[in-house]
Each structure stands twice: as C-alpha cells, then as structure tokens.
C-alpha cells in the first residue's frame, strides 16, 4: 500500500477562462507517504497544479486521479476528505469563534457521530498540543499559533493528503521550527504531504522529492540532494541552494569529497569527518 | 564625523487597549548612509519601531507615546506624516496594500501630485526612480500585472520619488519568491552603496542581513537587547537563541563544530567568510 501512487496526473493541462495556460503537459506520480515540495517562481503554475489535487480545479485536458479516483467525476466535497488544503494565510481559512469549534467543523461536515467528532478533536488537540488554548478565539492567537490551528483543523478531517501553501512564510524562527516539527509528525504518520514553498532550507531538511516548475511546466523531478546539486536547473528556475549546501558546494572542489550536504547538521558532520581523516 | 539622520530618545509606546508597551525605552542613533537591520522574534516591536520613524506611530495609531523621535532634526510628534515623507520613505511587506492605481505611471505620480510637485519635475523624478529600481519602460503596465518583485520595486520607486533621506523597509520580501527577494535586496544595497541612502530594514532572512547590513539591532519584548556589527551580533549565537532568532546557517555550522571541541578565531557570518574560514581550517589541520 505504501508504494502505491496516491496522486497521478497524466498529461494534465489547465487553461483558465480567458485563455491563460497555467499548467501544461504535467505527468506526475506521488507515492503515498511521501513529502513532496513543489518549487518555482510565482506564476510558474504551482498553485494551479495543487488545486487539482483536492478538486478545486478540474483538468481542462488530461486526467488527475486521487487514490485511483478520477477527480473529474468527483465533487470538491468528496475529494476534501482525501486531500486537505491549508492556505498560506490562516486568516483566510479560520472563521470559528474558538479553536474547539474550528477543529469540530470539518468532522461535523463529514457527518461523523458526536463520539467520533469528540475523538477526532481530542486526537488533533493532542497531536498539535492545543488543549491549553482550546477555548481561545483563533484570531486572538499569535500568527504562528494561528497557522498551527489552521493545519490542525485540516488534520481533524483525517485526509490522507495534506497540501500546505507556504507553511513557513511570515513565521519567525520558533514558529517555523514548530511547523517543521508537525510536518515531521505527519511524515512519521505516513501522511502524504504536498508543500508549495520558497523555503529552501525547509525543503532540504524535510522533502523526499522536489518538483521544480518553470513557465507552466515541470522541468525537474528529483530528490533534494540531486536537485540542489543540479546547478543548471537551479539557475534556470532562479532558485537558490540553502546556505549550508552552497558552502559545501564551494568547499567540495578543494577539500570535501563527501558530496554536497543539505543541512547545517550534515555539513557539521561532513567537515568533522574530513578533519578527522586528516588527523589520523 | 558622519552625520546623524535619526535620533530616538527614551521612546516608549503603548497601543490603546493593550497590557504592555510595544516599545520600551528605545534609544537609537542612526547615521547618514548607514544600512541598519532590525531583527527579533514576532511581536518584538520591530514594525512599531519602523512606523515610529515616519510618524505613522503616533499620528495614525491610537496609543500613548513618551520620548522623542527626531528625523533629520525634526520632531515627528510636531510634524504631519505627509511632511515626513520627504525625509523617510516607507515600504511595507505586502506591495499590494500599497498599490492603488491602474498604471505604473499614475502609481508613481499620485504621491508627487499630493505634495504639489509641478508636472515637468514630476516626470523627471518618476523617470529617475523607475530607472533606479529597473522598471523603466513599464510605465503603462498595470501594477497588478507586475510580478511580486516588480511590485515591491515599484513601491520602493514611489518612495524614492519623494527624494527621502531614509528608506525604511518592513519585511519587504516576505511575500516574494526567491527571484523577487533577490531583486529587492539588490536595489536596497545599490541605493545604499551608490547613493549613500540610509537604509533601515526589518527582516527575518539573516543570511541576507549578514551580507549587507552595517549594523544590526536586536529587539525583544519592545526593547533593544543587543546592537552591533553583523559579526558581533550573529556570532553571539546563545543570545540570539535565547530570544528565538536563528543565526545564518554558516554561523550555525561553525558554532556546531565549536561545540564538538574545535576552535575558530571568529565565527563566519557570510558564505564568503565561511568559505575562507573552513578552507584555512581544513588546511591547517593537514599541516
């Protein structure tokens, strides 16, 4: 089961009314349980692509299947229990007067029994450590917490796919770390996570696969190590390596033979290894 | 020596209906031509401090202010915001909030019209400012048809056309893609280096600050808790960590190695610095 494709796009194109082709010729398979980062400049088609994963948009050409179901034949409501979408700005998503009501809303709409709703809310509040603020008004929370409540309200619906649009934008370091921690938990839970992001260090730390888009098309699918090492694609898409990667890339020519590193921790280890080899 | 352009004395500001002041006893002197970065966690008071520099705090906010802010010798409490726009240009995090007109040209003209600049002078200033930010030729384009980076550069150009002495940028790139970020930082750096424009920037991207800023002030809970050059500020990792600010990745790498018992004379804060530091270090060990 874990090896099956939970999302499959075949020759997917989307032309908006008015004639603008936002994405074209997209062929993509996402394995269940993968964390996939979709990268590219604004306007490259990232958001249009992911909106096909929960049926907010339907293909104007080609097909999209979620768990083997053709989205063209499904309503957004049916698809929303498979794929949950977390907006970039939590203020666009949150509307209830308490965190509790926010968490209950999705499961209620799914037609669950009161006992089931209660269990879902409890599990979600446990998972995201929300018990202490469960009666607070979401808009009175700090921005980082509001974002977590927005993610939690999607989590309460137990979708198998989480689509997160710029989860770390506007967060300070602590907020970003918190979100990263929850993304790891989702990863451990074998949820499929689709990240649309400009946060390269986040991608380097957490993504299983990178999809790079440029001018409405996918131009590269790779694991982060391959991707951040492919300077040609990086240059074409105007994306940057994380600083740790850029450093190991520069040092590699002179001293490191270990291959490039992606994160701070990896770089520390690689440098230490080289030094120890020299001493011995 | 270098002239002071902004002076803040014992500034405390508390918004109405809040329990705690947003800014507590701020004292700060900013020199002409300086590139100053303000960092700190969410809620530290960074935006309030930025808004106090052009009089939005206290003129357009409700709250109580104590102390003094002098820009180019002018007391902000005694001067209207529109009269301060000649001295301090302001660029916010979301360019869409700042753009209101149907063409780039009219977007640029509106501020100048408001202060009664004659037409010829206006066209001259607009051409100059668009040239500086690299938007010449897009005069008839709708601002909404520009990329995020272009929109933010337009907001900068609009501020520049007022011939300010200081440009204040409040998280100018948080809504931009990597290319847009690069464009905005490059324009700010060029203004600073070539036109000696004073830059005050509120920014979370510490890697960028480390390569551009002359001085960094660290805010936490409304107070300035640290101030110094990029090396002093970013190599003091424990202080940053205690308030929830991360250092540049290369600094974290050097610091991580120090915790394992290795020693560096100085922790690098930029990519170039780190390349030099680690190349030397690895060579030395070999010898």
pLDDT at position B285, please?
55
Cβ contacts of A207 within 8 Å, gap of 6 or more: A35, A36, A37, A195, A223, A224
Give the whole-angstrom CA distance, residue B109 versus residue B38: 30
Cis peptide before B58 (omega within 30 of 0): yes
Q: What is the dihedral of CA A23, A147, A182, A124, to 10 degrees?
A: -110
Dihedrals φ, ψ of A217, to 5°? Answer: -125, 155
pLDDT at position B3, please?
92
What's the Cα-to-Cα distance from A73 to each of A159, A163, B135, B195, rounded to whole Å?
19, 21, 46, 60
DSSP state of A92: G
CB B216 within 8 Å of CB B39: yes
What's the Cα-to-Cα distance from A33 to each of A224, A275, B101, rounded to whole Å?
16, 37, 46
Give the whole-angstrom CA distance, residue A153 versus residue A127: 12
Contacts of A279 in chain B (CB under 8 A): 285
Query: How far does B278 lie from chain A, in Å, by closest CA?
Result: 8
pLDDT at position A255, please?
65
In this complex, do B279 and A175 lie within 8 Å of one another by their Cβ atoms? no
For chain A, the maximum distance between any two Cα atoms, rounded to a whole number of angstroms, is 68
Give buried/exposed letters for A48-61 (b at 16+ CB in 10 A, else e): bbbbbbbbbbbbee
Query: How far does A251 lie from chain B, in Å, by closest CA?
Result: 7
In this complex, do A172 and B257 lie within 8 Å of one another by their Cβ atoms? no
pLDDT at position B10, please?
98
Q: Which residue of B has its CA nearest to A196?
A: B177
Q: What is the dihedral of CA B230, B236, B237, B238, to 10 degrees?
A: -150
Give the whole-angstrom CA distance, residue A83 versus residue A191: 10
Angle value at C-alpha A90, between B143 and A81, nearest 5 degrees? 115
Give the residue among B134, B89, B136 at the shortest CA–CA distance from B111. Answer: B89
- Residue A264 has its nearest CB partner, among B249, B278, B279, at B249
Give the residue among A229, A220, A185, A221 at the shortest CA–CA distance from A206. Answer: A185
In this complex, do B178 and A200 lie within 8 Å of one another by their Cβ atoms? yes
In this complex, do A278 and B285 lie within 8 Å of one another by their Cβ atoms? yes
Residue A193 CB neighbours (<10 A): 23
Lay out the sheet containing A69-70: strands in order across: A21-31, A5-15, A61-66, A69-70
Beta-ladder partners of B12:
B66
Contacts of A244 in chain B (CB under 8 A): 249-250, 253
Structure tokens at A161: 């796919």
Angle value at C-alpha B283, between B277 and B284, nearest 5 degrees? 90
For chain B, which ranges sit under pLDDT 70? 1, 285-287
Residue B211 CB neighbours (<10 A): 16
- Residue A238 has its nearest CB partner, among B179, B257, B283, at B179
Give the whole-angstrom CA distance, residue B37 versus residue B122: 31
pLDDT at position A278, please?
74
Give the whole-angstrom CA distance, residue B65 versus residue B287: 61
Cβ contacts of B192 within 8 Å, gap of 6 or more: B33, B35, B198, B199, B212
pLDDT at position A169, please?
85
Tens-digit pLDDT profile for residues A224-254: 999 999 999 999 998 999 999 999 999 986 6
Beta-ladder partners of B7:
B29, B70
Lay out the sheet containing A35-39: strands in order across: A83-86, A161-165, A192-196, A35-39, A209-214, A217-222
User: What does the DSSP assignment read for A244-272?
Assistant: HHHHHHHHHTTT--S----SHHHHHHHHH
End-to-end CA distance of chain B: 46
In this complex, do B249 and A247 lie within 8 Å of one another by their Cβ atoms? yes
In this complex, do A42 and B177 lie within 8 Å of one another by their Cβ atoms? yes
**H, E, C per residue of chain B:** CCCEEEEEEEEEEEECCCCCCCEEEEEEEEECCCEEEEECCCCCCHHHHHHHCCCHHHHCCCEEEEEEEEECCEEHHHCCHHHHCCCEEEECCCHHHHCCCCCHHHHHHHHHHHCCCCHHHHHHHHHHHHHHHCCCCCCCCCHHHCCHHHHHHHHHHHHHCCCCCEEEEECCCCCCCHHHHHHHHHHHHHHHHHHCCEEEEECCCHHHHHHHCCEEEEEECCEEEEEECHHHHHHCHHHHHHHCCCCCHHHHHHHHHHHCCCCCCCCCCCHHHHHHHHHHHHHHHHC
pLDDT at position B99, please?
83
Interface residues of A toward B, Cβ cutoff 8 Å, are 40-43, 142-144, 169-175, 198, 200-201, 238-240, 242-244, 246-247, 250-251, 254-255, 264-265, 267-268, 271-272, 274-275, 278-279
| SS3 state at A158 | coil
Give the whole-angstrom CA distance, residue A43 versus residue A238: 13
pLDDT at position B1, please?
55
Contacts of B42 in chain A (CB under 8 A): 142-144, 171-172, 175
A-to-B residue pairs, Cβ atoms closer than 8 angstroms: 101
Beta-ladder partners of B75:
B70
| SS3 state at A52 | coil
The CATH code of the domain at B4-247 is 3.40.50.300
Dihedrals φ, ψ of B44, to 5°? Answer: -80, -20
Cβ contacts of B82 within 8 Å, gap of 6 or more: B114, B115
- Residue A244 has its nearest CB partner, among B180, B249, B283, at B249
A141, A213, A247, A276: which to substitute to probe chain B, counting the most B Cβ within 10 Å?
A247
Domain ranges within chain B, ordered by starting residue = 4-247, 248-287
pLDDT by 10s per residue, chain A, length 280: 445 899 999 999 999 998 999 999 999 999 999 999 999 988 899 999 999 999 999 999 999 999 999 999 898 888 888 999 998 888 888 889 999 999 999 999 999 999 999 999 999 999 888 999 999 999 888 887 898 899 999 999 999 999 999 999 888 898 899 899 889 999 999 999 999 999 999 999 999 999 999 999 999 999 999 999 999 999 999 899 999 999 999 998 666 666 789 999 999 999 998 888 876 6
Give the residue among B148, B273, B170 at the shortest CA–CA distance from A238. Answer: B148
Q: How many CA atoms lie within 13 A of B160 on its CB side?
A: 27
pLDDT at position A254, please?
67
Contacts of A260 in chain B (CB under 8 A): none
B282, B283, B284: which to substitute to probe chain A, counting the most A Cβ within 10 Å?
B282
Query: How far does B232 lie from chain A, in Å, by closest CA?
Result: 20
Give the whole-angstrom CA distance, residue A81 versus residue A63: 20
Q: What is the dihedral of CA B133, B139, B142, B144, to 10 degrees?
A: 0
- Residue A173 has its nearest CB partner, among B182, B245, B281, at B245
DSSP state of A81: T
């Amino acid at each position: 089961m874990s090896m099956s494709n939970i999302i499959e796009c075949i020759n997917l194109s989307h032309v908006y009314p008015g004639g603008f082709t936002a994405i074209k010729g997209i062929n993509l398979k996402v394995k269940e349980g993968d964390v996939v980062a979709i990268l590219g400049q604004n306007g490259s088609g990232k958001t249009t692509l992911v909106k096909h994963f929960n049926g907010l948009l339907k293909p104007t050409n080609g097909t999209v299947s979620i768990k083997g179901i053709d989205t063209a034949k499904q309503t957004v409501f049916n698809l929303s229990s498979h794929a949950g979408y977390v907006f970039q700005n939590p203020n666009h998503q949150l509307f209830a007067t308490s965190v509790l009501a926010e968490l209950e809303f999705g499961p209620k709409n799914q037609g669950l029994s009161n006992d089931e709703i209660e269990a879902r809310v409890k599990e979600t509040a446990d998972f995201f450590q929300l018990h202490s603020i469960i009666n607070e008004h979401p808009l009175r929370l700090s921005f980082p917490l509001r974002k977590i409540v927005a993610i939690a309200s999607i989590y309460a619906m137990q979708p198998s796919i989480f689509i997160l649009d710029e989860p770390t934008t506007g967060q300070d370091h602590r907020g970003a770390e918190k979100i990263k921690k929850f993304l790891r938990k989702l990863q451990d839970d074998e949820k499929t996570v689709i990240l649309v992001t400009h946060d390269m260090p986040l991608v380097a730390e957490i993504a299983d696969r990178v999809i790079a888009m440029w001018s409405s098309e996918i131009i590269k699918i790779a694991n982060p190590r391959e991707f951040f090492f492919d300077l040609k694609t990086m240059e074409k898409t105007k994306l940057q390596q994380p600083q740790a990667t850029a450093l190991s890339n520069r040092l590699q020519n002179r001293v490191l033979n270990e291959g490039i590193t992606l994160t701070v921790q990896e770089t520390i280890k690689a440098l230490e290894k080289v030094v120890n080899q020299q001493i011995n | 020596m270098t002239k002071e352009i902004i002076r803040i004395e014992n500034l405390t500001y508390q918004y109405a209906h809040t329990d705690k002041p947003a800014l507590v006893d701020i004292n700060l002197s900013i020199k002409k031509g300086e590139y100053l970065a303000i960092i700190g966690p969410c809620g530290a008071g960074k935006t309030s401090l930025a808004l106090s520099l052009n009089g939005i705090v206290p003129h357009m906010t409700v709250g109580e202010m104590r102390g003094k802010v002098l820009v180019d010798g002018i007391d902000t409490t005694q001067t209207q915001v529109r009269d301060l726009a000649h001295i301090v240009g302001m660029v916010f995090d979301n360019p869409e909030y700042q753009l209101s007109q149907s063409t780039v040209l009219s977007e640029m003209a509106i501020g100048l019209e408001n202060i009664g600049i004659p037409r010829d002078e206006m066209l001259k200033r607009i051409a100059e400012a668009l040239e500086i930010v690299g938007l010449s030729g897009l005069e008839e384009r709708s601002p909404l048809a520009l990329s995020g980076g272009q929109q933010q550069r337009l907001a900068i150009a609009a501020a520049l056309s007022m011939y300010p002495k200081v440009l204040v940028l409040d998280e100018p790139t948080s809504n931009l893609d990597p290319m847009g970020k690069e464009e905005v930082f490059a324009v700010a750096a060029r203004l600073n280096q070539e036109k000696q424009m004073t830059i005050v920037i509120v920014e979370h991207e510490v890697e960028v600050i480390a390569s551009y800023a002359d001085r960094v002030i660290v805010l936490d809970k409304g107070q300035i808790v640290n101030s110094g050059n990029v090396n002093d500020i970013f190599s003091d990792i424990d202080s940053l960590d205690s308030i929830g600010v991360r250092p540049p990745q290369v600094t974290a790498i050097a610091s991580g190695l120090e915790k394992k018992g290795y020693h560096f004379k100085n922790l690098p804060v930029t990519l170039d610095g780190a390349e030099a530091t680690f190349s030397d270090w690895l060579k030395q060990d070999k010898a």
